[in-house]
Structure 1
Amino acid sequence: MTVPIAIIGAGIAGLSAAQALQAAGQTVQVFDKGRGSGGRMASKRSDAGALDLGAQYFTARDRRFVEQVRHWLDEGSVQAWKPQLYNYRDGVLTPSPDEQTRWVGIPRMSAITRGMLGDLTVSFGCRITEVFRGQQYWHLQDADGCNHGPFSRVVIAVPAPQATPLLAWAPKLAGIAAGVQMEPTWAVALGFAEPLQTPMQGCFVQDNPLDWLARNRSKPGRDEHLDTWVLHATSDWSRQHIDLPKEQVIEQLWGEFAELVGCVVPAATFSLAHRWLYARPAGNHEWGSLADPDQGLYACGDWCLSGRVEGAWLSGQDAAKRLLSHLD
Structure 2
Amino acid sequence: MTVPIAIIGTGIAGLSAAQALTETGHTVQLFDKSRGSGGRMSSKRSDAGSLDLGAQYFTARDRRFVTEVQRWQSLGWAAEWTPQLYTFQGGQLNMSPDEQTRWVGAPRMSAITRGLLDGMDVHFACRITEVYRGEQHWHLQDAEGGTHGPFSHVVIATPAPQATALLAAAPKLAGVAAGVKMDPTWAVALAFEKPLDTPMEGCFVQDSPLDWLARNRSKPGRDTTLDTWVLHATSAWSRQHIDLSKEAVIEHLHGAFAELLHSAMPAPTFSLAHRWLYARPATGHEWTTLADVDLGLYACGDWCLSGRVEGAWLSGQEAARRLHESLQ
TM over 0.5: yes
Moved more, 156-165 or 92-101: 92-101
Aligned to 1:211: 211
1:166 aligns with 2:166: yes
Aligned to 2:251: 251
Cα distance in 1, alignment partners of residues 301 and 197 from structure 2: 40
After TM superposition, give the deviation of residue 223 of structure 1 in Å.
1.8
1:104 aligns with 2:104: yes
Aligned to 2:115: 115
After TM superposition, give the deviation of residue 290 of structure 1 in Å.
0.3
Give the partner amino acid of 1:77: W
Give the partner amino acid of 1:103: W
The residue correspondences of 1:113-262 to structure 2 (distance < 5 A) are: 113-262=113-262
Name stretches of at least 5 consecutive residues in structure 2 with no aligned partner. none
Give the partner amino acid of 2:58: F
Aligned to 1:2: 2
After TM superposition, give the deviation of residue 241 of structure 1 in Å.
0.0
After TM superposition, give the deviation of residue 264 of structure 1 in Å.
4.1
Aligned to 2:31: 31
> How does the TM-score come out when normalised to structure 2?
0.99
Give the partner amino acid of 1:105: G
Give the partner amino acid of 1:280: R
Aligned to 2:321: 321
Give the partner amino acid of 2:230: V
Name stretches of at least 5 consecutive residues in structure 1 with no aligned partner. none
Contact 2:212 2:232 in 1 (8 A): yes
RMSD: 0.7
After TM superposition, give the deviation of residue 118 of structure 1 in Å.
1.7
After TM superposition, give the deviation of residue 63 of structure 1 in Å.
0.4
Contact 2:84 2:97 in 1 (8 A): no
Moved more, 173-182 or 94-103: 94-103
Contact 1:38 1:113 in 2 (8 A): yes
The residue correspondences of 1:38-117 to structure 2 (distance < 5 A) are: 38-117=38-117
After TM superposition, give the deviation of residue 262 of structure 1 in Å.
4.1
Cα distance in 1, alignment partners of residues 135 and 204 from structure 2: 53
Name the SS for the 1:228 alignment partner: strand
After TM superposition, give the deviation of residue 58 of structure 1 in Å.
0.2
Aligned to 2:271: 271
How many aligned residue pairs are there?
328
Name the SS for the 1:125 alignment partner: coil
Cα distance in 2, alignment partners of residues 24 and 263 from structure 1: 56
Give the partner amino acid of 1:254: H
> How does the TM-score come out when normalised to structure 1?
0.99
Give the partner amino acid of 2:60: A
Q: Deviations over 1:71-105 (max 9, x none)?
A: 00100000000000000000000000222110000
Q: Deviations over 1:169-209 (max 9, x none)?
A: 00000000000000000000000000001000000001111
Cα distance in 2, alignment partners of residues 20 and 261 from structure 1: 45
Contact 2:53 2:189 in 1 (8 A): yes
Cα distance in 2, alignment partners of residues 27 and 73 from structure 1: 27
Name the SS for the 1:69 alignment partner: helix
Moved more, 96-105 or 186-195: 96-105
Give the partner amino acid of 1:171: P
Name the SS for the 2:295 alignment partner: coil
Cα distance in 2, alignment partners of residues 2 and 89 from structure 1: 58
Cα distance in 1, alignment partners of residues 89 and 12 from structure 2: 33
Name the SS for the 2:298 alignment partner: strand
